[in-house]
C-alpha cells in the first residue's frame, strides 16, 4: 500500500525523523488558512501517488497569502500523469543547502534490507545510478541485529557527507530504518533529505509503501488506505474483501482463484479482447458473494460483456450455478454474461443454468469457447449463443 507524502511524513515524525510542520488540505481557502497559521514562506505540494511532482508543477513556494491562493487553486484538480490532485500538503518552506538521497527497501535476492544513501539527492536516483554509480552507497542490513549507529555513520562517511552533519545524517538513517522495520514497510525513501544553512538535517519528501498483508498488525495505519487516492471501484472492492484490479478494456472478468483469473486475462487477450478488470471471487458458491462480485464488475460503465470463469475443484460447479441463479434474481442488466463451467459437476451446473434460462447468460464448456464468445459479444458482433 503506497502512502501519500504527508502520510509518510506522519510515520517519519512518529520515529523521530525531522520533518517540517504542515497540514493536509482540500481547498484553496483551507490552504490559505493553514499557511497563515504556519507562517511564510510555505510550500504548496500536490499529494498524488507518483513522483516528479516538482517537475510537473505540483510543488510551489509561496511567500504570502495571495501566492498560496494562486498555487493552491492551480494545483488542485491538476492532472499529474494520470493522477488527479485532490489533496494538498502545506508546510513551512525550508532553506536548502544540500539535497541528499536515502532509502531502505527489501532486497529480495539478498534476502536482506538494503540501505541506499547518496549526497546526490533531489533528482531521479536512477539517473545517479546510471551517471555516477560510485556516488551511491549500498549497505545490506542484518534484519535481526538491525542498523547500528556505527553502520549509519559509516554509510554517511562513505558517501562523503560533511563532517559537521554526519551525526544528523546518521540519526536520520537510523530513524528511516526504524520506520521501515517497525511499520513493516517494503520501501521507505527520502528524496531529498536536506541540510539547511543552519546545518539541520530534515526530510523534505517521503515515499513509503507499507506491506498490505501486515496491516492487520498496525491498526493505527489502516486509516491511510481510506484516504488513499486509488480507483474508487478498487477501494470499494477492498472494503468488500474482494481482490479487484481495474483495467482499461471492456470485458469484465470474474473467476475463482487468482491463477485462473490471470489465465483468463491471457485467453481473452489472445481472442482479441481487452479485459476491463481482474476480479478473484475466491472459492465458494455463496450467492451473496457472487452477487457482490457481479455488481462490482457492472459498476464499471466500460464493461460490454462479462466472462465468468469457474473451474470446479473443491467448489462444485452445480453449487456455483445455483449461487449464480440466486444472485441473478436480484440483478437486472443488459450486459451479456458468458459462464464457463468446467470441473467437478460441470454438466449438472450447465444444465441448471440452461433450465433457469437467465436472460443474457450463456454457458460454455471450455475457456477458449467462452473467450471467443465474450469477445464477439463485447464487440457487438453476435446476439449471443443460446445457453
43 binds, among Mn ion, ligand GDP, none (CB under 5 to 8 A by kind): ligand GDP
Q: Where are the alpha helices (DSSP H) in 271-366?
A: 287-298, 317-328, 346-356
Residue of minimal CB distance from ligand GDP? Answer: 54
> Binding to Mn ion (CB under 5 A): which residues in 68-97?
none
Q: What mask, x for binding Mn ion by CB under 5 A, covers residues 195 to 214? A: ----------x---------
Query: For ligand GDP, which is the closer residue by CB, 191 or 345?
Result: 191
Using rule CB under 6 A, residue 44 touches ligand GDP = no
Q: Quick one: 43 exposed, middle or buried, by C-beta within 10 A (0-12, 13-18, 19+)?
A: buried
Residue of minimal CB distance from Mn ion? Answer: 205
C-alpha dihedral sign at 61, 75, 35, 221 = negative
Query: For ligand GDP, which is the closer residue by CB, 94 or 264?
Result: 94
Query: For Mn ion, which is the closer residue by CB, 204 or 242?
Result: 204
Query: For ligand GDP, which is the closer residue by CB, 18 or 184?
Result: 18
318 binds, among Mn ion, ligand GDP, none (CB under 5 to 8 A by kind): none
Q: What angle do CA 214, 220, 226 make, to 5 degrees?
A: 85
Query: For ligand GDP, which is the closer residue by CB, 49 or 136?
Result: 49
Of 45-53, 159-167, 347-355, 379-387, the window that binds ligand GDP (rule: CB under 6 A) is 45-53
Using rule CB under 6 A, residue 52 touches ligand GDP = yes
Using rule CB under 6 A, residue 341 touches ligand GDP = no
d(CA 139, CA 174): 13
- Residue indicated by cell numbers 546510471: 130
Compute the least distance from the CB of residue 309 to ligand GDP, in Å: 40
Of 24-32, 51-59, 259-267, 340-348, the window that binds ligand GDP (rule: CB under 6 A) is 51-59
59 binds, among Mn ion, ligand GDP, none (CB under 5 to 8 A by kind): ligand GDP
Compute the least distance from the CB of residue 174 to ligand GDP, in Å: 22
> Binding to ligand GDP (CB under 6 A): which residues in 155-194?
191-192
Residue 60 near residue 43 (C-beta atoms within 8 A): yes
Using rule CB under 6 A, residue 51 touches ligand GDP = yes
Residues forming beta bridges with residue 43, ordered by sequence position: 61, 91
Q: Give every CB contact of residue 243 below 8 A, 6+ residues apart in sequence.
A: 237, 258, 278, 279, 280, 282
Name which of 25, 19, 66 is nearest 45 in CA terms.
25
d(CA 22, CA 45): 11
Q: How far is CA 80 from CA 123, 234, 368, in A?
A: 18, 20, 39
For the chain, give the longest Cα–Cα distance: 81
Of 49-57, 130-138, 161-169, 369-377, the window that binds ligand GDP (rule: CB under 6 A) is 49-57
Residue 47 near residue 24 (C-beta atoms within 8 A): yes
Task: Enumerate the active-site residues.
Answer: 101, 189
Compute the least distance from the CB of residue 165 to Mn ion, in Å: 19
> Binding to ligand GDP (CB under 6 A): which residues in 75-134?
93-94, 96, 99, 122
Q: How far is CA 179 from CA 7, 47, 206, 207, 381, in A?
A: 12, 20, 11, 11, 55
Binding site for ligand GDP (CB under 6 A): 43, 51-54, 59, 61, 93-94, 96, 99, 122, 191-192, 204-205
Binding site for Mn ion (CB under 5 A): 191, 205
Amino acid at each position: 500500500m503506497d502512502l501519500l507524502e504527508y502520510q509518510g511524513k506522519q510515520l517519519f515524525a512518529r520515529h523521530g525523523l525531522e520533518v517540517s510542520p504542515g497540514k493536509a488540505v482540500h481547498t484553496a481557502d483551507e490552504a490559505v488558512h493553514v499557511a497563515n497559521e504556519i507562517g511564510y514562506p510555505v510550500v504548496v505540494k500536490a499529494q498524488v501517488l507518483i513522483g516528479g511532482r516538482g517537475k510537473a508543477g505540483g510543488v510551489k513556494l509561496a511567500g504570502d497569502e495571495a501566492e498560496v491562493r494562486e498555487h493552491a487553486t492551480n494545483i488542485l484538480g491538476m492532472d499529474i500523469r494520470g493522477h488527479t490532485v485532490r489533496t494538498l500538503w502545506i508546510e513551512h518552506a525550508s532553506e536548502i543547502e544540500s539535497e541528499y538521497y536515502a532509502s531502505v527497501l527489501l532486497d529480495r535476492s539478498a534476502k536482506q534490507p538494503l540501505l541506499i544513501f547518496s549526497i546526490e539527492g533531489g533528482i531521479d536516483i536512477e539517473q545517479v545510478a546510471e551517471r555516477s554509480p560510485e556516488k551511491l552507497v549500498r549497505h545490506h542490513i542484518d534484519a535481526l541485529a538491525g542498523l547500528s549507529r556505527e553502520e549509519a555513520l559509516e554509510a554517511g562517511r562513505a558517501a562523503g557527507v560533511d563532517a559537521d552533519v554526519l551525526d544528523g545524517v546518521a540519526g536520520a538513517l537510523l530513524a528511516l530504518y526504524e520506520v521501515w522495520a517497525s511499520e513493516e514497510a517494503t520501501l521507505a525513501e527520502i528524496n531529498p533529505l536536506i541540510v539547511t544553512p543552519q546545518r539541520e538535517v530534515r526530510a523534505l519528501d517521503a515515499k513509503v509503501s507499507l506491506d498490505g498483508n501486515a496491516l492487520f498488525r498496525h491498526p493505527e495505519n489502516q486509516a491511510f488506505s481510506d484516504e488513499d487516492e486509488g480507483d474508487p471501484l478498487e477501494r470499494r472492492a477492498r472494503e468488500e474483501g474482494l481482490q479487484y484490479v481495474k483495467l482499461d478494456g471492456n470485458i469484465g472478468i470474474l473467476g475463482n482463484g487468482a491463477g485462473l483469473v490471470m489465465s483468463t486475462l491471457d485467453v481473452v487477450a489472445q481472442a482479441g479482447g481487452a479485459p476491463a478488470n481482474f476480479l478473484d471471487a475466491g472459492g465458494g458458491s455463496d450467492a451473496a458473494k457472487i452477487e457482490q462480485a457481479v455488481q462490482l464488475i457492472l459498476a464499471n460503465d466500460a464493461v460490454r460483456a462479462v466472462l465468468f470463469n469457474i473451474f470446479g475443484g473443491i467448489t462444485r460447479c452445480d453449487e456455483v450455478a445455483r449461487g449464480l441463479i440466486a444472485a441473478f434474481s436480484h440483478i437486472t442488466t443488459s450486459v451479456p454474461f458468458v459462464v464457463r463451467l468446467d470441473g467437478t459437476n460441470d454438466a449438472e451446473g450447465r444444465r441448471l443454468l440452461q433450465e433457469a434460462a437467465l436472460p443474457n447468460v450463456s454457458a460454455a464448456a471450455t475457456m477458449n469457447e467462452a473467450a471467443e464468445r465474450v469477445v464477439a459479444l463485447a464487440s457487438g458482433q453476435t446476439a449471443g449463443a443460446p445457453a
